[in-house]
């Protein structure tokens, strides 16, 4: 176990240092993300300013929701990027490594999370007073439960990533295409971009039961104090327990049918 942990830690470190050494333009991407957050905050102020509570959400709550969502975006989306290995053919060499392929991909994702936290998340959180956003959670208990919920959100997100890749192989669909579809649908249905309570016609209450909501909406609701923490965490646990066995089974069934660049 200690040896495996050391291998996966090295994978994360290699991904992080590779991100830093490949191209300095990655900092430009973080600048664009910072500007995107500032723009979203401005839009919310224009839309909700002076309207009091809307669907149980205040302007301050939505601003905090948006900032925390952006700061934790790498964890709330959970993209291992394994579909690129199918796209460029490097999946073949991954099967030769003395590690479990998906766990290694998750370790590499962790390396990217560390870099993002250092160059984007932490500066964004420190800049919250300049952006006029209240950073503190709804309370001490909400802050602690947010950490628990965030860990469960990562679990659900990784299971979904694993499952989508396995389904792409089984259906003979390009994993890269499937990954883009998952990101687009997940961003809309997870509540990472728009709080589900603000969806029209009450459809947000339907989306709240989907696994995508367990990825982002649940921890963010807990952070700003607008959801029932026990219900949200229970739903996250349920989806995690359901999706992981399904994802593992789907991968075992479909991996022999895998086709990537080069054959």
pLDDT digits (tens, 9 = 90+) for 182-228: 777 888 889 888 899 998 888 988 999 999 999 999 999 999 999 89
Indicate the pTM of the whole model.
0.88
Q: Which long-range contacts (CB under 8 A, 24 or more apart) does 235-242 make?
A: 235/209, 236/149, 236/152, 236/153, 236/155, 236/156, 237/152, 239/156, 239/159, 239/211, 239/214, 240/152, 240/155, 240/156, 240/159, 240/214
Q: What is the dihedral of CA 224, 226, 232, 233, to 10 degrees?
A: 40
Is the pLDDT at 263 greater than 50? The verdict is no
For residue 63 the two structure tokens come to 């601003």
Token representation of residue 228: 């029932």
Summarised one tens digit per residue, pLDDT across range 22-65 is: 566 667 788 889 999 999 999 999 988 888 788 888 999 999 99
Q: What's the token pair of residue 6?
A: 């050391």
């Amino acid at each position: 176990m200690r040896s495996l942990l050391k291998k996966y830690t090295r994978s994360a470190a290699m991904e992080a240092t590779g991100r830093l050494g490949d191209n300095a333009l990655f900092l430009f991407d973080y600048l664009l993300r910072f500007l995107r957050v500032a723009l979203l905050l401005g839009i919310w102020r224009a839309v909700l300013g002076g309207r009091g509570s809307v669907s149980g959400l205040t302007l301050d709550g939505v601003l905090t929701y948006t900032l925390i969502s952006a700061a934790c975006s790498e964890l709330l989306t959970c993209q291992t990027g394994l579909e690129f290995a199918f796209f460029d053919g490097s999946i073949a060499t991954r099967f030769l490594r003395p590690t479990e392929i998906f766990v290694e991909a998750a370790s590499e994702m962790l390396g990217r999370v560390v870099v993002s936290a250092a160059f984007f998340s932490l500066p964004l959180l420190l800049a919250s007073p300049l952006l006029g956003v209240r950073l503190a959670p709804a309370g001490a208990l909400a802050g602690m439960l947010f950490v628990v919920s965030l860990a469960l959100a990562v679990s659900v997100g990784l299971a979904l990533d694993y499952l989508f890749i396995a389904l792409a192989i089984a259906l003979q669909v390009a994993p890269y295409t499937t990954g883009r579809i998952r990101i687009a649908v997940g961003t809309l249905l997870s509540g990472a971009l728009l709080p589900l309570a603000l969806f029209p016609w009450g459809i947000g209450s339907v989306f709240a039961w989907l696994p995508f909501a367990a990825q982002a909406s649940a921890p963010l609701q807990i952070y700003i104090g607008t959801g029932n923490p026990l219900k949200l965490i229970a739903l996250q646990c349920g989806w995690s327990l359901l999706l992981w066995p399904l994802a593992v089974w789907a991968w075992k069934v479909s991996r022999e049918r895998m086709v990537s660049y080069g054959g």
